[in-house]
Amino acid sequence: CCSARPFYSLPSKIENKNKQPLQTSRPYNLAHRGSNGELPEESAPAYMKAIEEGADFIESDILASKDGFLICMHDVTLDATTDIAEHKEFANRKRTYNVQGVNTTGFFTVDFTLKELKSLRLKQRFPFRDQQYNGKFQIITFEEYISIALDAPRVVGIYPEIKNPVLMNQHVKWPGGKRYEDIFVETLQKYGYKGSYMSKDWLRQPAFVQSFAPTSLIYISNQTDLPKLFLIDDVTIPTQDTNQSFSEITSDAYFNFIKDYVVGIGPWKDNLVPVVNDYLQTPTDIVAKAHACNLQVHPYTFRSENMFLHLNFKQDPFVEYDYWINKIGVDGLFTDFTGSLHEYQEWNTPLSVNHEDKSSTLLRKIASLISKYQKN
């Protein structure tokens, strides 16, 4: 597998001008925590595999270590996706913290140094997925994740999340009174990520910044013009930082407010189209309202296993993709199975990039021959 592939120097020495550009003609294939349907989530091989399978963007959740390093990890605790339980030397590190109003017990990233976190090994979250890679891969840092995108043989975007900023700022202190969000943005800037959506700078190194915390997105808007996405959780869960309800943050008034800071929303897909007894119901008006405010819609999470496919889709992920792209009209899809979405899109809306490249190359050759002929 791609697990043997080495990391390259940061930033990549491959010139972006020589790479195939990011496709922008069809909904984005967003590799949710990498190709985690096949490999442990947020691992280097999961991201490399996603790139090989055709991801437009690789998505990650960014948390902090005790000593202030930013790492790729979805949960604020290490229990579900690492072998922390096997490390007896850390048995006394279990804590209970209030996380979004809920007392949560486990081994938190904020209680371990980066060196300690690197001693752990990742494992597959779901028991029904391939377990053969458990214990093989380390936790990676934000910078290592960036290196994977920069080293890709074509232009691949990153899609990092400002994850649980309230908890990160409560438990981790950075020099000079800096906040977690400051370090997050500084890391992006360090590696050349800048520019508004579809600008020349952005197309060279594409990035979306996402968060469930609207105050964090507003805060960093003064530091970077990179496009931002506001994530929307289940109807029962308030926002991470402002304790606002689902109905508040999906109202016309709120969309009109937040559109000054973000280019889109990232809602849980069952909130866009409710489900009863595993059958889809009438779609809500959230997508229409978002599009009316010129906001993109990137729903999550698409998973190809039968247990995740509603009965309308007849156990066929292609039918699900077709429904969301052509009937609901979403602009990007967070998927655990990058390869299946890429196959669907190549089958239904193949890119003409290769034909365009061949045509432009031929024209350049003809121009060169004419120039040489005129000189002679």
pLDDT 10s digits, 57-100: 999 999 999 999 999 999 999 999 999 999 999 999 999 999 99
What is the average pLDDT across 110-120? 99
Q: Please, where are the H alpha helices in 62-138?
A: 114-118
pLDDT, residue 18, reads 85
Helix or strand holding residue 361 (H, E): helix 353-375
Residue with tokens 């906001």: 295
Q: Which of 277, 262, 272 is nearest to 300 (CA)?
A: 272
List of E strands, the chain: 28-31, 57-64, 70-72, 95-99, 102-106, 157-162, 209-211, 228-232, 264-267, 275-276, 279-280, 296-297, 332-335
Q: Is 373 helix (H, G, I), strand (E, B) or coil?
A: helix
Q: What is the pTM of this model?
A: 0.90
**Residues forming beta bridges with residue 160, ordered by sequence position:** 60
What's the pLDDT at 5? 42
Residue 238: DSSP 8-state: -
Q: Is the peptide bond before 82 cis (omega within 30 degrees of 0)?
A: no
The pair of structure tokens assigned to 89 is 């030397």
Q: Which residue range forms the structural domain that includes residue 257?
A: 2-375
Average per-residue pLDDT in the chain? 92
Confidence band for 327, pLDDT divided at 50, 70 and 90: very high
Domain count, the chain: 1
CATH number at residue 115: 3.20.20.190
Vertex 158, ends 197 and 251: CA angle to 5°?
Answer: 55
Euclidean distance between CA atoms 192 and 119, whole angstroms: 30
pLDDT in tens, 188-237: 999 999 999 999 999 999 999 999 999 999 999 999 999 999 999 999 89
- DSSP secondary structure of 132-181: TTTTS----BHHHHHHHHHTSSB--EEEEEE--HHHHHHH---GGG--HH
Is residue 2's pLDDT more than 50?
Answer: no
* Crossing angle (nearest 10°) for helices 44-52 and 142-150: 20
What's the pLDDT tens digit per position in 344-361? 999 999 986 444 444 554
* pLDDT tens sequence across 145-182: 999 999 999 999 999 999 999 999 999 999 999 999 99
